[in-house]
Amino acid sequence: MIETLVSFAVQGQRILGTLCLPRGAPAPVVLMLHGFTGSRDEMLVAGVGEGVFSRSARRLAQQGLASFRIDFRGSGDSEGDFSDTTYEGQIADGLAALTVLAAEPRVQGNRIGLLGWSQGGLVAAAVAGRTNVPLAAALWAAVADPIESLGGTMGAAAVAAGLKTGDVALPIHLTWKDIALKQGYFDGMMAMKPPAEVAAYLGPLFVAHGWQDEAVLPHAAAKFRAAHKASQESWMEEMDHSFNATTGPATLDRLVDATADFFKRNGL
């Protein structure tokens, strides 16, 4: 396995991503989209010294799949200010990453899969539905109702204030991090309908969710499955929003392996 940094620009700002290549490259490739306030290497998995996505990328490589995990603009090592984050901005980042992969000689750019976690799943639903480029798409604990999930995390008062803040960043205290967002994010929260986005996707869909997920409630999975009319698979487990990563890698590893098997059975 070889990992290398790849950068590209969206609207004049540099996005950084990690391209992970298995032995025998060029190989099919999976675009990986991280969650709200996260980054491409976020959240260490207990006992192994790897982040959720970096460990996932390594396990995908072991099964012959390349991957490209990016930091959205304003997150991780990419340029931009997090307060400028919007759903449409992250969707634009994902669409641009697809274009980069299609022209990348170290991968099979005509065999692309898509994987999104949490808010990254919301973004993945839109990227898949608006392009139908991915041969297969996987949603991990994906946000189906941003008002319920992300609005619920912030609180009704913060959402109401955010809808009036204009181009001034509103400070928001989350249980794990202090952030600031402008009105564009909250306008998107009101407008975005992820199940409707995934309804336009004609490829196979893998929906994974945890029965113990309190950040994005488990019925989100049912909303995506009901909206998607093509081939689909469900993977429900006794896990939390981060796949029990705080207790070790066992659940995450099973999820990655199931996801890799899904991709390989569907064109990757």
Give DSSP secondary structure letters for 134-181.
-SEEEEES--S-HHHHHHHHH-HHHHHHHTT-TTSPEEEE-SS-EEEE
The answer to the question of residue 231 being in a domain is: yes
Confidence at residue 252, expressed as pLDDT on a 0 to 100 scale? 98
The answer to the question of residue 103 being in a domain is: yes
Contacts of residue 247, Cβ cutoff 8 Å, sequence gap at least 6 = 46
Is 42 a residue whose pLDDT tops 90?
no
Is 24 a residue whose pLDDT tops 90?
no
Q: State which residues form the domain around 248.
A: 2-144+193-262
**What tokens does 221 get?**
């999975």
Is 161 a residue whose pLDDT tops 80?
yes
Mean pLDDT of 19-44: 95
The answer to the question of residue 124 being in a domain is: yes
* Side-chain-side CA neighbours of residue 222 (13 Å): 4
Pairing between β-strand 170-173 and β-strand 178-181 as defined by DSSP bridges: antiparallel
The answer to the question of residue 157 being in a domain is: no
CATH number at residue 82: 3.40.50.1820
Confidence at residue 201, expressed as pLDDT on a 0 to 100 scale? 98
* Side-chain-side CA neighbours of residue 248 (13 Å): 2
Number of domains in the chain: 1
Confidence at residue 72, expressed as pLDDT on a 0 to 100 scale? 98
The answer to the question of residue 61 being in a domain is: yes
**What tokens does 52 get?**
């959720």
Global confidence as pTM: 0.96
